[in-house]
A and B are shown apart, each in its own frame.
Chain A
Amino acid sequence: MIRLLQIELAKLWPAKYFRILVVLWLTAFISIPFGGVRLLEWMTNGMAFAENIMLDPNAWPIFDHGDLWQNLSYVYKMFTVFLSFVVIISVTNEFDYKTIRQNVIDGFSKKEFWLSKISLILFFSILATAMLFVLGVILNWTYSVSFDATLLATNSEFLFAYFFQLVYFLMFCFVLSLWIKRAGVVIATMVFWVYIIEPILSALVVDRWLDMPVLAQSLPMEAGWNLIQFPFTKYLLMQTQDFIGAQDILVASGWMAFFFLVSYLLITKRDL
């Protein structure tokens, strides 16, 4: 697996698009929390005129233990899109250049090719999770009321959920890329699916006509997204789910297994 990852990185590193995407991703990654702090300040200032509203965003403990991991993982899961482009372009390029074919001629088994892309997905997911962990520790230490290393572990299962969600979404993109093979069409399909098809399916077909909300929550993107619930409503004293639902994990794991299986079959059963 390490050998396959080395090959994968050797392919990617000289590519300009790859460096640009990684730099963009890293920049976003590091700058987000500082933006968050500013946002709270801005909200506080904005509310200064309404003194009777008992709301002080500046005092929200967004980086304190207990809240930290859910807040961070929720915000950061929205930035998976940079990595999804890396996966999509790296896979569709192999079809474009026909290098997938040459790789196999040179001695890769089709399974090894599959594993090399999986290793790339795992590598970035682990890297992002590790970075989020380090960032979380730094933010907690810098901005929280009290820094306590032992309390830092509270709700850290959201780190795992973040990792899971990364692998999940990147595997989804991997399957689309293998299936469609053209980067532009893959990205369009992904956007179309996430923002149009699934919401329509979920809202109309399953929710209203079939009246099966459970099924709506089991659509692939919905299931992946539900793992980490929107956390910030709790600061408005609304009821907020601050745990990972067992049913969500179950459904998402089912889809994940499906992505692994389908991507494997798409590579091994087809002629290159």
Chain B
Amino acid sequence: MILETNNLTKRFGRLTAVNKVNLRIPEGSIFGMLGPNGSGKTTTLGMLLGVINPTEGEFSWFGQGNSPEIRKNIGAILEQPIFYPYMSAVRNLDIVCKIKQAATSRIETVLKQVNLFDRKDDKFETYSLGMKQRLAIASALLCDPKVLVLDEPTNGLDPQGIAEIRQIISNIAASGKSIILASHLLDEVQKVCTDFCVLQNSNLIYQGSVAEDFAENTSIEIASVNHSALKTALTKISGVKDVIEQGQIILVKGDDELDSLSLNQQLIERGVVVSHLKTIEKSLEQRFLEILEGQND
């Protein structure tokens, strides 16, 4: 286990920001934390990183408790890149090394990794937001950490900046490190993460594996010039569980056996020619909204 929390709770006066959160994050997973703004993601991470004192509950990194020593082996960004503005990247990273008691030899490596080596002697305050965000990732990688905690790493970036950060995160994930990623960018979480959880109104309302969650259903969009024949044919095809009409297009939901190829074959056998056929990948966004809606009911 990388991380285990037990009834982790934070109250600010009468407001409960995080309510009895129990997380289990297994070794090697890329863990996405989803939730609307104000759902308690940052407060949760703040507690896990020692800056916010929990009101109740406890947590343990690597099964070893929560001492500051353990944080030295975690690379983390919370909310925004934070550095001394009047210092260069190198000097800033040097201070991080001193705090983490890590060797300064990796400064060059990580700066190259995030493509900032050319600007290493420029002051932090002269950096663009994208560069600041990249420096923050470099800083998080400085101690060659077992786990990386990234809170909204693409927040406020332009499309190019987002693409750069996304590439860096994919590379880190590919290198076998564990990542805890709090993000609004659901497709990003879907692409990168192995597991995810959803927070809403201070509560942990869902925790699951990305693979399992997206294997359960197949959806296919289909249309034909002969609409009524298509509808009739669909009722007879095995594996079809649900047929939803969306104007001229029909959305077919089926079990694992059903795919666009077998559907098309069976329709041709029944003399129906399709004009539109598209497999819908279930997106995390839909799933996320489903989960949130399930809560609201």
Binding site for B on A (CB under 8 A): 3, 6-7, 10-11, 14-16, 97-99, 101-110, 112, 269-272
Given contacts A3-B98, A10-B98, contact A109 B68 (CB under 8 A): yes
Contacts of A103 in B (CB 8 A): 99
Residues in chain B near residue A102, CB distance under 8 A: 78, 82-83
B95 touches A11 (CB 8 A): yes
* Interface residue tally for chain B (C-beta within 8 Å): 30
Select B78's contact among A10, A105, A110, beta carbons within 8 Å.
A105
Contact of A97 with B49 in the complex, beta carbons under 8 Å? no
Q: Least Cβ distance of A238 to chain B in Å?
A: 50
Residue of A nearest to B69 (CB): A107
Evaluate contact between A6 and B98: CB separation under 8 angstroms: yes
Q: Report the Cα distance A14→B123, complex, angstroms.
A: 10
Q: How far is the CA of A3 from the CA of B95 in the complex (A)?
A: 11
Sort A-B residue pairs by CB-CB distance and give the 8 closest, nearest first: A107-B72, A109-B68, A102-B82, A272-B51, A271-B52, A107-B71, A106-B99, A105-B49
Q: Contacts of B83 on A, CB cut-off 8 Å?
A: 97, 99, 102
> Is B86 part of the contact surface with A, judged by Cβ < 8 Å?
yes
Bound together, the chains give a CA A270 to CA B67 distance in angstroms of 17
Contacting pair B94 A10 (CB below 8 A): yes
B51 touches A10 (CB 8 A): no
A101 near B78 (CB under 8 angstroms)? Answer: yes
The reply to whether A271 and B46 form a contact with Cβ atoms under 8 Å apart is yes
B82 touches A104 (CB 8 A): no
Residues on the B chain within 8 Å of A98, using CB: 80, 82
Q: Identify the closest chain A residue to B78 (Cβ).
A: A105
- On chain B, the residues within 8 Å of A11 by CB distance are 84, 95
> How far, in whole Å, are A224 and B108 apart by their CA atoms in the complex?
49
**Chain B residue at minimal CB-CB distance from A103:** B99
Measured between C-beta atoms, what is the minimum distance from B260 to chain A in Å? Answer: 48
For residue B78, which residues in chain A have a CB less than 8 angstroms away from its CB?
A: 101-102, 105
B271 at interface, CB cutoff 8 A: no
A203 to B43 CA separation, bound complex (whole angstroms): 48
Q: Which residues of A contact B126 (CB under 8 A)?
A: none
A110 to B51, CA, bound (A): 8
How distant is B96 from chain A, measured CB to nearest CB, in Å? 5
Query: Could you tell me the distance in whole angstroms from the C-beta of A116 to the nearest C-beta in chain B?
Result: 9
Q: Shortest CB–CB separation between residue A2 and chain B, in angstroms? A: 11
Report which of A6, A99, A104, A270 forms a contact with B49, defined as CB distance below 8 A. A104
The answer on a CB contact under 8 Å between B82 and A107 is: no
CA gap between A15 and B101 in the complex, in Å: 23
A228 to B83, CA, bound (A): 42
Q: Does B50 contact A (CB under 8 A)?
A: yes
- Write out the residue numbers on chain A whose beta carbons fall within 8 Å of the beta carbon of B46: 271
Given contacts A7-B98, A97-B85, A99-B82, A105 and B50 within 8 Å (CB-CB): yes
Provide the bound-state CA to CA distance between A98 and B69, in Å: 21
Q: Are A15 and B51 in contact (CB under 8 A)?
A: no
Asked if B172 lies at the interface with its beta carbon under 8 angstroms from chain A, I say no
Q: Which of B91-108 contact A (CB under 8 A)?
A: 91, 94-96, 98-101
- Of chain B, the residue at the smallest CB distance from A269 is B53
